[in-house]
Amino acid sequence: MTEKHYWWKIVGVVLMLIVINRGLLTPLKHGIMDVSPDRIEAGKQVVFKINSYNANYKQAEKEIQVYLKHVPEDSKNKQEEFILKANAIEVINENQLQASFQLPSHLPDSRKVALFTLIVDNALDGATAIPSKIIMLQDSVDLADGIRQWSSSDKPHFHSPNKMYFPYRNILVETIRNTFFHVSLWFSMFLMFGMSVYYSVKYLKSNDPDADLRSFALVRTGLFFGIMGCLTGSLWARFTWETWWTTDIKLNMAALTILIYMSYLVLRAAIEDKDRKARISAAYNIFALVAVIPLIFILPRLTDSLHPGNGGNPAFGSDDMDNSLRIIFYPAVLAFMLVGLWMASLLYRSDKLLYIIEEKENN
């Protein structure tokens, strides 16, 4: 076999090694896990206890700044924001600190209750925030005085880390790395199923047993990726949703997809005549994909779902993905697809040899 025939296999393996290496070893950005108290009153002195992840507060102690930020919901100018700087900071350890604020008597908001974001910034870790975590109350509303007290001509300069980090996402934390594996497995599964349908149609047109063998190999590879996708998803759910399985519609539709294609294997095993087996399997495979597409891509969008991209929850938005994740995610999808095609080709070649041996024995 010449290099022209297997270059894509080398690409798949190299990409997979890169994804495993960088996907597992790239550190997460500094992030705020929790802050207390989270319900405060205007006009008082308050000390926030801040618990963070993957921070270096001891090393960057002299450079740390903490801010309270507010963007009024009723503001006509969505770029308008008000920031208050902490007047004292005490570092407890690398991931914990305390920030003291003397709160103005009025808020830059026309409501008595408003949400504030807490920001921690230093040159070593960069800036991070816990959005809309702080609930602040005021006894009376004086918008003009609130704007005056919260306005500052000295706009803070927030730092960015110098090297590549994956984003910190609350709840997900380190499990965000599973994006490269869990999601890529499902992308690859649909590629396998889609190509298997192509060969099923080809068989129905030509009665070529080679097309049937290719379709059969692709279905098994896709089913394997689907099962692995369910397993990685279940493991992910255990650490983020605190359960191995939920009633989430996308999980149930994924399980139903696996059952549909397992039925394909049962159907195929139950028929002895080769021609009849191939024809019925091809027809079933076509209708299986037609049934699975609305189960996975349409029904979950019509109801609430914990998964991104469903129930009005956008997929691959800034809350889910950033450029550091995309650099690894897209090569991961390509790597799993190429490795999946390699696996399917090995299954096909094995089945082809068995088919040739049986033909010779029968003749």
Distance CA 299, CA 232 (A): 22
**Element of type H or E holding 120:** strand 113-122
Q: Check residues 253 and 314 and name the one with the higher pLDDT.
A: 253
Residue with tokens 């730092």: 159
- β-sheet bridge partners, residue 67: 85, 119
- β-sheet bridge partners, residue 102: 45
Per-residue pLDDT tens digits for 198-249: 999 999 999 999 999 999 999 999 999 999 999 999 999 888 888 888 888 8
Per-residue pLDDT tens digits for 263-305: 999 999 999 888 999 999 999 999 999 999 888 888 777 777 6
Least confident of 39-43, 77-81, 161-165: 77-81
User: Taking residues 26-31, what's their average pLDDT?
Assistant: 92
Residue 308 class from Cβ within 10 Å (0-12 exposed, 13-18 middle, 19+ buried)?
A: middle
**Element of type H or E holding 191:** helix 184-206
The residue type of 235 is L
Residue 18 has pLDDT above 60, yes or no: yes
CA torsion angle for 92, 116, 126, 167 (degrees, to 10)? 110
Q: Are 70 and 115 in contact (CB under 8 A)?
A: yes
pLDDT-above-70 percentage for the chain:
92
Give the N- to C-terminal CA distance of the chain in Å, as an integer. 30
pLDDT at 314: 46
Residue 5 has pLDDT above 80, yes or no: no
Strand order in the sheet with 31-36: 31-36, 45-53, 96-102, 88-93
Distance CA 94, CA 121 (A): 14
Distance CA 348, CA 361 (A): 20
Domains of the chain: 40-150 (2.60.40.10), 173-362 (no CATH)
Residue 77 has pLDDT above 50, yes or no: no
pLDDT at 287: 93
Q: How many residues does the chain have?
A: 363
Q: What is the pTM of this model?
A: 0.84
Rg (CA), the chain: 28
Q: Are 39 and 135 in contact (CB under 8 A)?
A: yes
Contacts of 7 (CB under 8 A, 6+ apart): none
Q: Are 249 and 302 in contact (CB under 8 A)?
A: no
Q: Is 190 helix (H, G, I), strand (E, B) or coil?
A: helix
CA torsion angle for 216, 219, 221, 227 (degrees, to 10)? -140
Q: What SS3 string covers 211-243?
A: HHHHHHHHHHHHHHHHHHHHHHHHHHHHHHCCC
| 75: confidence class by pLDDT, cuts 50, 70, 90 | low
Contacts of 267 (CB under 8 A, 6+ apart): 280, 281, 284
Distance CA 153, CA 161 (A): 25
pLDDT averaged over every residue in the chain: 88
Distance CA 218, CA 330 (A): 22
**Element of type H or E holding 280:** helix 274-293
